[in-house]
Amino acid sequence: MSKFTVTTNAGDGPETPNQPIEFPDTKSATDDAQVALSDMAREKLPNGKRADFAVSVEDDTGKEVYRAGLSFTAKDENDLAREREENEAATDDVANCLSGRGPRK
């Protein structure tokens, strides 16, 4: 068994256990890290429109052997409408520039 340190970050800053954890191999440690990542998301969501989660694994020498992240972004109908308007305006600007009229002001 090898010792690994699994550091998690559910958006509140990194949390590292006081003692390394024993795992049979690196894959077992990284599998555990993936489960921790999904657990963090399950515990925090729903919670607004944005959340970021991260996890990393270091071996017993302190070498990082794994890193993963999960980003959650939600948009309501107002956000989607604003995004469509911005995209349409950008499309118009490109078309105007290509036709020699320049961007909208």
Per-residue pLDDT at 82: 95
If DSSP states are collapsed to H, E and C, what string results for the chain? CEEEEEEEECCCCEECCCCCEEECCHHHHHHHHHHHHHHHHHHHCCCCCEEEEEEEEECCCCCEEEEEEEEEECCCHHHHHHHHHHHHHHHHHHHHHHHCCCCCC
Confidence class of residue 104 from pLDDT cuts 50, 70 and 90?
low
Q: What is the CATH number that goes with domain 2-74?
A: 2.60.40
pTM over the 0.85 mark: no
Q: What is the pLDDT of residues 52-68, one digit of tens each?
A: 999 999 999 999 999 99
Q: What is the pLDDT of residues 26-40, one digit of tens each?
A: 999 999 999 999 999
Domains of the chain, by residue range, sit at 2-74, 75-105
